[in-house]
């Protein structure tokens, strides 16, 4: 049924400054934040892996040298070690598999706090499929679930191709109510009320508790002149969502069009009770336009966001690509089993006796195999452990040699560690077994590097935004890096003379 067009309007777009809080902008912002966090986490883990490699390969070299009875040339052993550590590079795998390989090889050497990094990494692998899915949801936001077409159509930005896409989607996905509503709004704009009513009824059948659909149905019914039915539909919308000012406002417009001014005023009063400023604004706008207008609602932001996360072929393919980019080796769907398998491997590896792996005493720097550990879990040879637990700390000639050894090691370490800390913030801390500080500094370093390199610009909003935060993020990254280096200089991994 076609009649005179019902004049409709949208609520104004909320904005922060000049940035409209519309779905593409919010989705891009969330996506960029998400990828920023993920990239920082992965880079941090990778840098931790490099630091662990730097810390423990000399011990591994020592063990291999011992195991081969010093029969093999050191250069050969080093060449083999480089090869073993870089084996994943010969395959089509991502940086995280390389990291995993390193952590597995160094597992026996790691102290308790460092092993927690491995557990975190393992947890990350277990949920990696889900992480990739969410990432793909943000990445494919313009391509999946006709979300973009719904958005553009509702705002009058759609072209014929977009409308055809929605129509085609409705044919292939008859159980999806949102495109039905969008198509109905499109028909409403073309004053094709009969089709709009049909589509909205289908939508209501699928989602009988959606107040928005009743609101639009009421407008379509009003377009066909069925004011009573329209009023009933508006009332249904109000019943489902009594706190929505728009429905009361639309009821007031309906009463006004039927010259029932008393009820119209009552409805306006009800709407004003909910959002007086909003009603005032809508009335002013209507006066300016000189026409009675009904307010239609766009698809809510949360709905758009949840739709973009729905599984689809496109999303799955992108999630697989994201997973393969970081991990690879096995398909994404196997990630859970992969993680569980690794957990079993770690359990089996924990049965290897600790004395098979040499350790370096954190006090005197001596290499040992049995030993003990400090209360913080740092490796310590039995002699230092004994000196540490002595009740009285007075020195004597017997202990002098040992304490001198400890002092010398500390003096040598101080210079070395401060250089390492300046070269790669966190490395010196990790070498001195301060895992917490090391991880914090490496995370800040990764965050700064990601900020400088990417500027947080991973995804692009297809709706243009004039405000550009990327340069600010890059500058913040540089500042953060500067502060980190200053901090590394001011607070070295070990304090001299303590």
Partner 1 sequence: MALLGTLKGFGVTEIFQLISQQMKTGSLVLSSSKANITISFENGIIVGIASDQWERDPRADVLLKADCIHEKDLKAAIENEKKNSQSWHEILISKGQLKKIFLDRASNVVIKQTLLEVFQWREGGYKFEDWNTEQQSILSCHIPTEGAILDTLRIIDEWPTIKQKIPPVDYCPVTIIPITEELVRHHDLSEVDLHIYDLIDDKRTVEKIVRESLEPPFEALSSIVRLMDIGLVEVFPEGATDVRDTSIARNLFISRIRKAALYVVLALCILGISVIGQPRVLKEIIPGEIKNQIQHQRVLAERFSAKLPVPSATNTDSYAH
Binders in 151-210 for partner 1, by CB under 8 A: 155, 157
Q: Which is nearer to partner 1, 318 or 432 (CB)?
A: 318
Whose Cβ is closer to partner 1: residue 265's or residue 355's?
Answer: 355
Give the nearer residue to partner 1 in terms of CB position, either 278 or 377: 278
Using rule CB under 8 A, residue 377 touches partner 1: no
**CA distances from residue 7 to 10, 113, 196 in whole angstroms, order as listed:** 11, 66, 15
Residues 274-303 within binding reach of partner 1 (CB under 8 A): 277-278, 280-281, 285
CB of 464 to partner 1, least distance (A): 4
Q: Which stretch binds partner 1 (CB under 8 A): 52-60, 103-111, 175-183, 457-465?
A: 457-465
Q: Which residues within the stretch 114-153 sit at the binding site for partner 1 (CB under 8 A)?
A: 139-140, 142-143, 148
317-346 residues in contact with partner 1 (CB under 8 A) are 317-318, 320-322, 324-325, 328
Task: Phi first, then psi: give them for residue 93, nearest 5 degrees.
Answer: -130, 160
Of residues 401 through 420, those in contact with partner 1 by CB under 8 A are 402
Is residue 365 a contact residue for partner 1 (CB under 8 A)? Answer: no
Separation of alpha carbons 311 and 317, rounded Å: 10
Q: Which helix (H) or strand (E) holds 19?
A: strand 19-20
Contacts to partner 1 from residues 58-87, by CB under 8 A: 66-67, 69-73, 76, 79-80, 83, 87
Q: Which two tokens stand for residue 367?
A: 């290499």
Question: By CB neighbour count within 10 A (0-12 exposed, 13-18 middle, 19+ buried), where does 118 fall?
Answer: buried
Shortest distance in whole angstroms from residue 470 CB to partner 1: 14
Question: Which among 308, 292, 147, 299 has a CA at the least distance from the CA of 227?
Answer: 292
The yes or no reply on residue 5 touching partner 1 (CB under 8 A) is no
Burial 205-223 (b: 16+ CB within 10 A, else e): ebeeebbbbbbbbbbbbbb
Q: Residue 326: which residues within 8 A CB-CB, separation 6 or more?
A: 42, 94, 95, 96, 128, 132
- The torsion defined by the Cα of 237, 242, 244 and 246, in degrees rounded to 10, comes to 50
CA trace torsion 136, 139, 141, 145 (10° rounding): -30
- The candidate with the shortest Cα–Cα distance to 342, out of 100, 134, 155, 112, is 100
- 276 vs 471, beta carbon nearer partner 1: 276
Please count the residues of this chain forming the interface with partner 1, following the rule CB under 8 A.
79
- Per CB under 8 A, 91 contacts partner 1: yes
Provide the minimum distance between the beta carbon of 274 and partner 1 in the complex, in angstroms, as a whole number.
14
**CB closer to partner 1, 349 vs 382:** 382
Per-residue contact flags (x/-) with partner 1 for residues 459 to 478, judged by CB under 8 A:
xxxxxxxx------------
Pull the structure tokens for residue 281.
């604004």
Minimum CB distance to partner 1, residue 360 (Å): 12
């Amino acid at each position: 049924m076609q009649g005179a067009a019902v004049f409709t309007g949208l609520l104004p777009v909320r904005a922060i400054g000049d940035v409209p809080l519309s779905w593409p902008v919010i989705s891009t912002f969330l996506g960029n934040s998400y990828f920023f966090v993920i990239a920082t986490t992965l880079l941090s883990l990778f840098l931790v892996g490099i630091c662990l490699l730097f810390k423990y390969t000399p011990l591994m070299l020592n063990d291999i040298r011992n195991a081969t009875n010093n029969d093999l040339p050191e250069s050969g052993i080093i060449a083999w070690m480089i090869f073993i550590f870089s084996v994943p590079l010969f395959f089509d795998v991502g940086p995280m598999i390389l990291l995993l390989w390193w952590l597995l090889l160094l597992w026996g050497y790691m102290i308790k706090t460092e092993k927690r990094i491995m557990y975190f990494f393992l947890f990350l692998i277990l949920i990696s499929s889900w992480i990739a899915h969410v990432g793909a949801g943000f990445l494919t936001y313009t391509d999946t679930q006709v979300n973009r077409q719904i958005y553009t159509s509702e705002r009058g930005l759609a072209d014929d191709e977009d409308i055809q896409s929605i129509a085609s989607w409705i044919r292939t996905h008859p159980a999806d109510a949102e495109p039905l509503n969008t198509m109905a709004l499109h028909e409403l704009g073309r004053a094709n009320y009969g089709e709009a009513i049909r589509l909205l009824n289908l939508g209501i059948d699928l989602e009988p508790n959606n107040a928005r659909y009743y609101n639009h149905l009421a407008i379509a019914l009003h377009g066909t002149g069925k004011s009573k039915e329209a009023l009933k539909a508006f009332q249904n919308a109000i019943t489902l969502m009594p706190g929505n000012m728009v429905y009361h406002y639309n009821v007031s417009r309906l009463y006004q069009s039927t010259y029932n001014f008393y009820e119209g005023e009552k409805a306006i009063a009800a709407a004003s009770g909910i959002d007086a400023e909003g009603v005032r604004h809508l009335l002013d706008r209507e006066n300016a336009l000189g026409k009675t207008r009904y307010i239609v609602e766009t698809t809510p932001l949360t709905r758009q966001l949840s739709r973009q996360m729905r599984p689809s072929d496109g999303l799955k393919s992108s999630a697989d690509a994201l997973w393969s980019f970081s991990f690879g080796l096995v398909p994404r769907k196997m990630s859970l089993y992969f993680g569980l398998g690794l957990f079993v491997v770690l359990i089996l590896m924990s049965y290897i006796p600790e004395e098979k792996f040499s350790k370096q005493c954190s006090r005197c720097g001596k290499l040992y195999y049995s030993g003990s550990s400090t209360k913080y879990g740092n490796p310590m040879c039995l002699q230092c452990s004994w000196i540490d637990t002595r009740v009285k700390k007075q020195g004597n000639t017997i202990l002098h040699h040992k304490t001198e050894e400890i002092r010398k090691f500390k003096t040598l370490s101080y210079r070395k560690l401060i250089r390492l800390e300046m070269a790669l913030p966190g490395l010196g801390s990790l070498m001195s077994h301060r895992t917490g500080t090391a991880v914090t500094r490496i995370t800040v370093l990764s965050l700064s590097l990601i900020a400088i390199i990417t500027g947080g610009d991973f995804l692009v909003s297809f709706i243009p935004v004039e405000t550009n935060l990327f340069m600010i993020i890059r500058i913040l990254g540089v500042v953060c890096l500067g502060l980190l280096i200053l901090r590394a200089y001011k607070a070295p991994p070990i304090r001299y003379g303590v």
